[in-house]
Every structure is written in C-alpha cells, then in structure tokens.
A and B are shown apart, each in its own frame.
Chain A
C-alpha cells in the first residue's frame, strides 16, 4: 500500500492521555494533545513512538539566582536527559544541581583536563549540598547536558554529565555520581555558584520505559 502526497500529511487519531481509544488494536497510533506526543498501542499498553520525549521546556527569567522545575519527574519515565542552552550568566559560573529540597548526600567525581596543557584538573562532590558541576555558564551562554537515572524511583538517583568551561584557559571533562537518598523526586533546581542567570531554556526529556 502506498500513501503519497506532496502538500498534505497523514492525520492520526487525536486524543488525550485520558481519552485514548477504549478498545485499541495492536499497532494503533494516536496523537495525544496533552502530552504532545505520538503513542502506539503495543498489545497491552500505550507507549511513546519516540524513545525520547520532551516533557517540559522552562525559559529562564532575568537575573535569577536559582531556577526550579517543579514537575520534571514522574512514574511515566525512569530515566531523563536535561539540557540547558542559550541565555547568559552574569559571570563565569558552575551550574549546580539539586533534587527536590534535599541539601545533603550528593556525591560525584569530575575528571577534567585543562585545555591549554592537557594536565588533569579533577574535582569531587563528597556528601555535598548539591552536584556542583552539572553545567556551566558565561557571559556568552549557558551550557549543560546531563542525565538522571531513577530520580522518581525509590532508589539512589544516578547523575552523569559533560562539563566544559566556556573560556580558553579552563577545562573540559565529565562527571558522574549519585545522590545518597531514595526520595522519589519530582523537581530539580539549577543553582549557579555565583552571579545570576538570564534567559536560555532548560529542557527535560524522558526516556521511554517501553
């Protein structure tokens, strides 16, 4: 069977996550308006067509010292990717990351290399108040791309990030660690270690469980 058009598209069934077809068939696809996603029925349950779904995009305000995204994590997804792009910081900053209202028990190692010399420049969070290097900011832009595994499960949350300073004399590297806490988090907060943030977007993606 061939369906072809050059000026029109195929329109799926349109529903919401609470008004899905009551007698679905295997392989049926619908477009959900409340989750902005295509979902497919896989024999016994509905699942996103895409493995990675944008959950929320939060625009950062003007000259703020912290940004909380309050409905980021849920039982729908076990694992998440979070990016921060655009915007500026008032000065060179590290972007810290805190889960919910938990202010202790953050552990991470950050193996890093100095751009100019290739020398090691490692650092760590040892039972810290937050993960200190989830990303960076400068007067040019904000930059973060990190992963959180199991933040909404009653398990330790695992944290993995890329860390790349935005000036020629600094360092690039990675980071990974965990939160020594089994709270089922729904929110996170981005906190610069100095100065303020203006503009840019925090995007939260969920990895499909099925």
Chain B
C-alpha cells in the first residue's frame, strides 16, 4: 500500500517509517471500531434472548 503525506505545500510518497506509523494507527482505530461493533452485537443478542427492546431495557435499568 502506498500513501501520500503532505507537509505544508509539499506532497510526497510516505517513507517506510511513515507507512509503518500510518498503518499502526489505522490498525488501532480498526480494532477499536471492531470492539465497539462487537459490543453492540452482544447487546442486541442479549436483548433478543431476553425478548425485550432497548427502551424496555432502559426502563428496567432505571433510565428514562
């Protein structure tokens, strides 16, 4: 994968170090997004198992 980086008005191909840094940051962001999606799926599965809606779950927990 190639990346372009911009420093002020100069746009150039990323160096090997810069590519490693970009990909590391992106993998962290993707892991975070996946964890969030997994949590949402688990929540949905639990609601299905209990046979209640998200609003009903909020009521049970004392929320508005």
Residues of A within 8 A of B (CB): 58-71, 94, 96, 103, 117, 119, 123, 128-130, 132, 191, 193-194, 196
Residues of B within 8 A of A (CB): 3-9, 11, 14, 18, 21-22, 24-26, 28-30, 32, 36, 54
The answer to whether A132 and B11 have CB atoms under 8 Å apart is no
In the complex, what residue of chain B is closest to A118 when comparing beta carbons?
A: B64
Chain B interface SS verdict (over half): helix
Q: For chains A and B in complex, what number of residue pairs have CB atoms within 8 angstroms?
A: 59
The answer to whether A129 and B26 have CB atoms under 8 Å apart is no
The answer to whether B29 and A66 have CB atoms under 8 Å apart is no
The answer to whether B8 and A69 have CB atoms under 8 Å apart is yes
A69 to B5, CA, bound (A): 12
Which residues on the A side are within 8 Å of B24 (C-beta)? 129
Residue of B21, B25, B32, B36 with most partner-chain A CB within 10 A: B25
A92 to B41, CA, bound (A): 21
The answer to whether A61 and B29 have CB atoms under 8 Å apart is no
